[in-house]
Structure 1
Amino acid sequence: MPTKTVRSRKWPVALALALALPAAATMANDQLIKMAQDPNQWVMPTGDYTGQRYSALDQINTGNVKDLHVAWTMSSGALRGHEGQPLVIGDMMYFQSPFPNHVYALSLDDPARIVWKFTPEQDKFTPSVACCDVINRGVAYADGTIFSNALDGTLYALDAKTGEVKWKVQNADPKLGQTQTMAPIIIKDKIITGVSGAEYGVHGYITANDTRTGKQLWRAYSTGPDDLLIFDPDKTIDGATQKPVGKDSSLKSWQGDQWKLGGGTTWGWYTYDPELDLLYYGTGNPGTWNPTQRPGDNKYSMSVIARDPDTGMAKWVFQMTPHDGWDYDGVNESILTDIEIDGETIPALTHFDRNGFAYVWERSNGRLLAAHSYDDTLNWASGIDMQTGRPKLNPEKMTEEGKNVKNICPSSQGTKDQQPAAYDPASGLFIVPTNRLCMDYQAFHVKYKAGFPYVGALVTMYPANKGEVGGRLIAFDPIGGETKWAIDDRFQDWSGVLTTKGGLAFYGTLTGWFRAVDLKTGKVLWQFKAPSGIIGNPIAYMHKGKQYVAILTGVGGWAAIGLAANLTKATEGLGAVGATETLGDYTTLGGTLMVFALD
């Protein structure tokens, strides 16, 4: 058997200069790649284009992290779930709150001084169509501009120095159930965003706008014909497991015009390979949650797609969960690393899917290299067929209209939802925040009406084995399929993870503990009880010679929708309330930016 190892890849500053692209088009790439090489800053929501969420800073390390303390804090002015992270650009910090989507620019020279604040005017109807809390996953930066998605689908370009609106454009319509919660990604002269709302029968898509003017350059849909922007079926992809597909290839996987309500929304994390010039992102669940109403594989929901950012044309697509019957959205991040196989270095993409399987693909062509379960309770499938890429289904756990299927693992929140994993280049392991939930799932017939829920299932979630462990932080090898260490938590681990050269992983819990963990052993070396539960993502930066770690606290999101929206019935919140019915005994609402440092 060939030996496989995982290595990180940090592209050199000069890489963008070698790309055969016009100088004007590569401006944002050149700037961001160069800035991302500086560990003193945090210039993209994911840290850099790889999505590794790794910091090369090591002033805070395993030997001194016990002395970490609060350096300064700031209220966000919002109460609902804080799922994003700050950016650090030079001597400034920027972050965005959940609805009403306050955007702040803070001085690091005078900590917590608000240089400017921007709050968009939004239709008050908008929060009513946000399926799983009114969260926001953060702003993006390029060329002196902060880019912000408002919940109502408006994308704003704000002057980074003044907060003045340079332009705005509408990329979603709440009256159709469409909202925007994802963090944008900047590629060349384009800002690329997605859409939320599959639970409202939204036809999922991503949009590329010109960073200078806001003009729409292209839009690519997840399901359907021409606007799918899928590559030519007559072309081949060397070494790919899946065959190329054409523009009409998804239609035969739907019944009639069901694809128009097909979901496949695109609200997760995006990554980009400047060398291959490919954008990577995932698509969500098909509409409705009742699989009986939509026979077929329902392409290309539940998929990872690689697209040319210049044209929107897809190069390859891989569907993880055909004919989804469990709401196993495929929107989770795809992390870029390199893998060595028998001495050959292969550029890879690692994706911890909601369905409980960790996939590794060759990122140039979508060839499946590995697929292992990272959830020891998973029972809806027994594995992944490495020839076809399809799951080996357990028929007893397949849902259908009029039947209450019990004890399906994982639940609809998946073994991992949007909470992003991080990579440790020293060990080649991924540090993954997970959910440890199962569910009962009863599908029923539902009719579509624009702007109204289009779910068609009654779900109840609960901890696996109905025990006291609802979440688990793990160190996982996606090639060998092994969990090296694990930390059990009372509720879902909905916070993202940060890894550092100092040998540490930082993450937060729903109960509000912010922790530093030894990457080698999984031992908790330090923890601090925040004012509210944590579903945000840690970052690290350096200012005036001192390293800081920052985190947005503020419980909410789908994991804690009961607490966030004052819901009490177990089946409310799309079944999530039952999994966290006692969370209110440990924490409460309130958004705070917390920044930590050594003495």
Structure 2
Amino acid sequence: MRREQGKGGERRGHGYGSWMRWVYSLGILLAMPLPLQANEELLRLGADPGQWPMQAKNYEATRYSELDQISARTVERMHVVWSFSTGALRGHEGGPLVIGSTMYVHSPFPNTIYALDLRQKPYTILWKYTPEQKPSAIAAACYDTVSRGVAYGMGKIFLGTLDGQLIALDAHTGNEVWKVKQGEIARGETITGAPIVIKDMVIIGISGGEFGVRGRINAYDIQTGKPRWVAYSQGPDDDILLEGDFNKECPRHGGEGEGTRSWPGEQWKLGGGTTWGWFSYDPDLDLFHYGTGNPGSWNTEVRKGGDNKWSCTLWGRRPGTGKARWAFQMTPWDSWGYDGTNELILVDLPIGNAKRKCAVHFDKNGFAYTLDRGTGEVLSAVPFVYENWAKGINRGDDRPIEVPEKRAKLGVDVKGVCPSSMGGKNQQPAAYDPETHLFYVGTNNLCMDIQAMEAKYNPGTPYVGADLLIYSGHEGRDKYYGEFIAWDPVKGRRVWEIQERFPVWSGALATAGGLVFYGTLDGWLKAVDARTGVLLWQQKLGSGIVGNPIAFLGPDNKEYIAVYSGVGGWFGLPAAVSLPKDDPRAAMGANGAADNSGLPQSTTPGGELVVFGLD
């Protein structure tokens, strides 16, 4: 471990904008019983418009800010007020956290964390922490050395490292409190997803599905790092952790024993289903929600004989026990690498004649799912991008109605499958605006040729079993590779869209100012009208944007927008590492797609936090 103390010395209190606000907060915390402390603290911080305490702003994962100083009327005055180099290249996914007057900034490998004191203009570095980790993790990163962010809770910052450690730091000083070994890099197990704090636990997943990793999530005691429980994505029921009434309302979605029965032999032990995406949580239902990735390997011949549950699955689990209340597999016996790890956004929607507690999920397979977040019942499932691998979703059993000609096959180059394995949407999180009742989604307009290949499992080496060629949508007929869209979840349709030259790999931010922010792979941060999609403002940054913009209130009570600049991620990897152009199938098909789109000629590698304001 290497930790450096900034010139500001030890942190001078964790103020929440004013002394009285700090005292009020402290009084609440001291009065609370320990098991609820982290939960209640984050609920309060998530509801505070000036804070950004979680990667998705709040437990519901709406990425919506109630701040409105920067609005459709004032946004033309917005400009860069300061910037900060992270000292790292490669893809800068995720976003910073703002807790009181402190901003916590993270980087991709080597996973450095900075605490910035925002009371000093533009900032003072309170502390810097770089974990000791194995450089071999770089080779084990499936699609770039990204980190999707850190988590905060009970005075601690939680970091997942690329080589599979979970580390708790004192939020005031940067000192290590505890660390655990969540993954084994020798088996290809890494951490690229962001943890989440629920009650008195920190919950984190594992990455490495293309290395034959068996997916799982782990919960640790927030104070000591001692393990609470582990829930696997496949295997025996005792490993998966099922409640007694699992899938009671929707038995058609599967039940007991299917974590092994739907796999041939013991292939489930190499089954993928990793958990590198996002988490959300409903305190009233006491369920947290997440998705699992594609099965391993991509070659379906080694997985023939069943649905390969529970890969490509959405889950509702109890945080206290880890037990699953429900699960719904979107892409049974996946042959395209469609995953299922994208976020579930928790909103209440009018469905039929009643208001339903819903979870909305834009899946890599191209379908937008609205589910009852308490039971997993599928309320709607319609395409949100162009897709041709399925004719729709059968509402009798909620399974896709596959087009057989589009299923990947061993030794056959299947042409024109849409969307590609990069998905109709990849990791870039959507936002929801409660005023417009719309979701805002960065999407990929991509198709592919895919061929299943032989794959032999060797621990710590790629276990993919597929060869891809990726190109623009509608089987290569389009000139654009991405769109930013507004989506009506009740009507199940787009309200407007903006075509972009490249896939929109950044997250979205919606604000009470009537604006939606998003970034492009060639480095433009854009603000559009939330109701019409009209472009109102844009600024070119030094590198492509694959991070997620946030809004916060500074100590001066002024609104700011912040975003990472730093090209990378799956599509951006060729621009980040300058891959040779003679192999279009390199980086799992990203190399040819990025080159054909002109991305390497449109941006350069970088690593920077950029903050915008009105003066």
- TM-score (normalised: structure 1): 0.94
Cα gap change, 1:566 to 1:251, in 2 (>3 Å): same
CA distance in structure 2 between the partners assigned to 1:512 and 1:236 by the alignment:
45
**Residue type matched to 1:546 in 2?**
K
Equivalent position to 1:401, from 410, 414, 429: 410
Q: Deviations over 1:165-190 (max 9, x none)?
A: 01111100110000001111000110
Q: Deviations over 1:192-212 (max 9, x none)?
A: 000000100000000000000
Q: Counterpart of 2:548?
A: 537
Q: Counterpart of 1:139?
A: 150
Structural mapping, 1:182-221, within 5 Å: 182-221=193-232
CA distance in structure 1 between the partners assigned to 2:238 and 2:454 by the alignment:
29
How far does residue 386 in structure 1 lie from its aligned partner after superposition? 1.3
Counterpart contact for 1:397–1:408, Cα < 8 Å: yes
Q: Counterpart of 1:505?
A: 516
Q: Deviations over 1:249-298 (max 9, x none)?
A: 22111100100000000000100000000010000000001112211211
CA distance in structure 1 between the partners assigned to 2:261 and 2:240 by the alignment:
17
Equivalent position to 1:167, from 171, 175, 178: 178
How far does residue 457 in structure 1 lie from its aligned partner after superposition? 0.7
Structure 1, unaligned runs of 5 or more: 1-21
CA distance in structure 1 between the partners assigned to 2:258 and 2:405 by the alignment:
30
Q: Deviations over 1:90-149 (max 9, x none)?
A: 100002100001100001112232110000011111110101000001111111111111
CA distance in structure 1 between the partners assigned to 2:247 and 2:159 by the alignment:
36
Q: Counterpart of 1:156?
A: 167
Q: Counterpart of 1:559?
A: 571
Q: SS at the partner of 1:25?
A: helix
Q: Counterpart of 2:314?
A: 304
CA distance in structure 1 between the partners assigned to 2:361 and 2:253 by the alignment:
20
Q: SS at the partner of 2:569?
A: coil
Q: In the alignment, is residue 384 of structure 1 matched against residue 400 of structure 2?
A: no
Q: Counterpart of 1:265?
A: 274
How far does residue 340 in structure 1 lie from its aligned partner after superposition? 1.9
Q: Counterpart of 1:438?
A: 447
CA distance in structure 1 between the partners assigned to 2:519 and 2:271 by the alignment:
34
CA distance in structure 1 between the partners assigned to 2:520 and 2:105 by the alignment:
20
Counterpart contact for 1:66–1:526, Cα < 8 Å: yes
Structural mapping, 1:56-205, within 5 Å: 56-110=66-120, 111-205=122-216
How far does residue 232 in structure 1 lie from its aligned partner after superposition? 4.8
Q: SS at the partner of 1:560?
A: helix
CA distance in structure 1 between the partners assigned to 2:240 and 2:307 by the alignment:
19
CA distance in structure 2 between the partners assigned to 1:39 and 1:480 by the alignment:
29
CA distance in structure 2 between the partners assigned to 1:368 and 1:343 by the alignment:
16
**Residue type matched to 1:400 in 2?**
K
Q: In the alignment, is residue 280 of structure 1 matched against residue 299 of structure 2?
A: no
How far does residue 561 in structure 1 lie from its aligned partner after superposition? 1.3
How far does residue 24 in structure 1 lie from its aligned partner after superposition? 2.0
How far does residue 229 in structure 1 lie from its aligned partner after superposition? 3.1
Counterpart contact for 1:241–1:388, Cα < 8 Å: no
Q: SS at the partner of 2:34?
A: coil
Counterpart contact for 2:350–2:490, Cα < 8 Å: no
Q: Counterpart of 1:494?
A: 505
How far does residue 43 in structure 1 lie from its aligned partner after superposition? 0.5
CA distance in structure 1 between the partners assigned to 2:493 and 2:322 by the alignment:
36
CA distance in structure 2 between the partners assigned to 1:460 and 1:37 by the alignment:
44
**Residue type matched to 1:588 in 2?**
T
How far does residue 236 in structure 1 lie from its aligned partner after superposition? 6.6
Q: Counterpart of 2:41?
A: 31
**Residue type matched to 2:557 in 1?**
G
Counterpart contact for 1:289–1:455, Cα < 8 Å: yes
Counterpart contact for 2:565–2:609, Cα < 8 Å: yes
CA distance in structure 2 between the partners assigned to 1:596 and 1:163 by the alignment:
26
CA distance in structure 1 between the partners assigned to 2:96 and 2:602 by the alignment:
25
Q: Counterpart of 1:590?
A: 606
Q: In the alignment, is residue 50 of structure 1 matched against residue 60 of structure 2?
A: yes
CA distance in structure 1 between the partners assigned to 2:303 and 2:45 by the alignment:
46
Structural mapping, 1:340-355, within 5 Å: 340-355=350-365
Counterpart contact for 2:253–2:328, Cα < 8 Å: no
Q: In the alignment, is residue 549 of structure 1 matched against residue 572 of structure 2?
A: no
Counterpart contact for 1:284–1:329, Cα < 8 Å: yes
How far does residue 336 in structure 1 lie from its aligned partner after superposition? 0.1
Q: In the alignment, is residue 240 of structure 1 matched against residue 250 of structure 2?
A: yes
Cα gap change, 1:108 to 1:480, in 2 (>3 Å): same
Counterpart contact for 2:279–2:344, Cα < 8 Å: yes
Equivalent position to 2:473, from 460, 464, 471: 464
Q: Counterpart of 1:374?
A: 384
Q: SS at the partner of 2:505?
A: coil
CA distance in structure 1 between the partners assigned to 2:243 and 2:135 by the alignment:
43
How far does residue 237 in structure 1 lie from its aligned partner after superposition? 5.4
Counterpart contact for 2:351–2:490, Cα < 8 Å: no
CA distance in structure 1 between the partners assigned to 2:154 and 2:218 by the alignment:
20
Q: Deviations over 1:426-481 (max 9, x none)?
A: 12111000000000001111110000000011101011143321010000113322
Counterpart contact for 2:214–2:273, Cα < 8 Å: yes
Q: SS at the partner of 1:256?
A: coil
Q: Counterpart of 1:250?
A: 259
Q: Deviations over 1:136-163 (max 9, x none)?
A: 0111111111111111111111111110
Cα gap change, 1:232 to 1:244, in 2 (>3 Å): farther
Structure 2, unaligned runs of 5 or more: 1-31
How far does residue 230 in structure 1 lie from its aligned partner after superposition? 3.5
Q: Counterpart of 2:11?
A: none
Q: Counterpart of 1:8?
A: none
CA distance in structure 2 between the partners assigned to 1:343 and 1:373 by the alignment:
24
How far does residue 38 in structure 1 lie from its aligned partner after superposition? 0.8
- TM-score (normalised: structure 2): 0.92
Q: SS at the partner of 2:325?
A: strand
Counterpart contact for 2:240–2:259, Cα < 8 Å: no
CA distance in structure 1 between the partners assigned to 2:425 and 2:46 by the alignment:
27
Cα gap change, 1:473 to 1:574, in 2 (>3 Å): same
Q: In the alignment, is residue 290 of structure 1 matched against residue 306 of structure 2?
A: no
**Residue type matched to 1:578 in 2?**
G
Aligned positions, number? 575
Q: In the alignment, is residue 572 of structure 1 matched against residue 582 of structure 2?
A: no
**Residue type matched to 1:570 in 2?**
P
Find runs of 4+ consecutive structure 1 residues off by over 6 angstroms: none
Counterpart contact for 2:253–2:397, Cα < 8 Å: no
CA distance in structure 1 between the partners assigned to 2:206 and 2:169 by the alignment:
21
Q: Counterpart of 2:20?
A: none
Q: In the alignment, is residue 222 of structure 1 matched against residue 236 of structure 2?
A: no
**Residue type matched to 1:552 in 2?**
Y
How far does residue 240 in structure 1 lie from its aligned partner after superposition? 3.3
